[in-house]
Every structure is written in structure tokens, then in C-alpha cells.
Amino acid sequence: LSSFSGQHVHLSAKINGQLVVRPYTPVSDINERGSIYFKDTHPLFPEGGKMTQYLDNLKIGDSINIRGPGGLLTYNGRGRFAIKSSKKADPVQKKYKKVAMLAGGSGIAPMYQLIKASLADSYDKLEMHLIYANKSEQDILLFEELLNLEMKHPTRFRVWFTIDARKGKGMSSRVRHSHSPLG
């Protein structure tokens, strides 16, 4: 499933007689078959929400309605962004050398999409810094993938993981010491 970096799609389906519409951000590379949702990752919905359960039960040959891609930000590569102030506004073209990103929970998807697109282009010199917040260490999506990207591209991508230690037993030394802004 391909889309532009920073964009999402809306999936819609009639589920139990009710129209359900949900935004999803593809996290696979633009040129590969991929997935657009995570199952067994949200602690409040271990079986997924209505749409995730519906998607999980689709059979070969079934179809679903998709609208998009859409969004207010598109990453065009090599530090170039198209940014809209509203859905109907024309995009303003901006170029940056560095970007700082803050994501929480499943909000990592559009950031991950942008990070992967930038790092895949050897001519792209954009430097990216990501702070990724979650309630617990178990809630961190794409943990290994983000660490691997940081290890492969240490001058271009840095990630810091934060969790709400009050809710759990704290965080492992791997998260706390090696990937925390506090160090």
C-alpha cells in the first residue's frame, strides 16, 4: 500500500450495520506490499478496535473502501516539505536541514514513514530527532526498527524513548540509559 510520506488513508466499512471510518498511516515502504494496522499492540484493545477486527477477518477477494491519501504535511524528500494550514489550503513549500518530532503511541506511524523515506535516500541529508512517548515499555511500537535505523544512521537520526514510569514498574535500563534525553 503506497502513499506519500506524512500522509494517511481513511478506511471505511459497514460493520454490524454501522458505517465505521478510521484513518490509518501505512508504515511499509512505498514500493512493497505492507500493512497499515497493528494488532495486539494497544493495551485497552488487545483484539484491536472495530476496524482492526474487521480487517483481520477479511478473506482473499473481499474489498474495503479506501479514501486518500490525505493529510496536512507531505515529505517530498531531501528536506522538502509541503505543509497545509488547513485541508482546503494550498500547501506551502518549506525546506529544512533538521526536524524534531514528538510522537505518542500509535502516532509514531507518520513519523516512522517520514524517517524511513528520508533515510532510504542516500542524497537526503535531513537530520531527524524523535522523542517517542508511551505509557509503558510494552506499548512501544516499532522499538527494534527505530533502534536499528538509529544504529545504521547515527549522524542523521536519533531517537529517545520515554514512558510513564508511574503506571508501571519503571523502564528497563536499555530504554532509560541508552535512549533517554536525560541519559
Q: Is 22 annotated as a binding residue?
A: yes
Q: What's the gap between Cα 1 and its chain centre?
A: 14
Q: Is 111 annotated as a binding residue?
A: no
Neighbours of 108 (CB within 10 A): 25
Q: Is 123 annotated as a binding residue?
A: no
Neighbours of 178 (CB within 10 A): 13
H helices within 31-156, ranges in order? 50-56, 108-120, 143-152
Rounded to an integer, what distance in angstroms lies between the CA atom of residue 101 and that of residue 55? 30
Question: Side-chain half-sphere of 25: how many Cα atoms within 13 Å?
Answer: 17
Q: Nearest 5°: CA angle at 135, between 74 and 144? A: 60
Q: Is 67 annotated as a binding residue?
A: no
Q: Is 14 annotated as a binding residue?
A: no
Rounded to an integer, what distance in angstroms lies between the CA atom of residue 130 and that of residue 89? 27
Neighbours of 90 (CB within 10 A): 9
Q: Is 158 annotated as a binding residue?
A: no
Binding annotation for FAD: 22-24, 39, 50-51
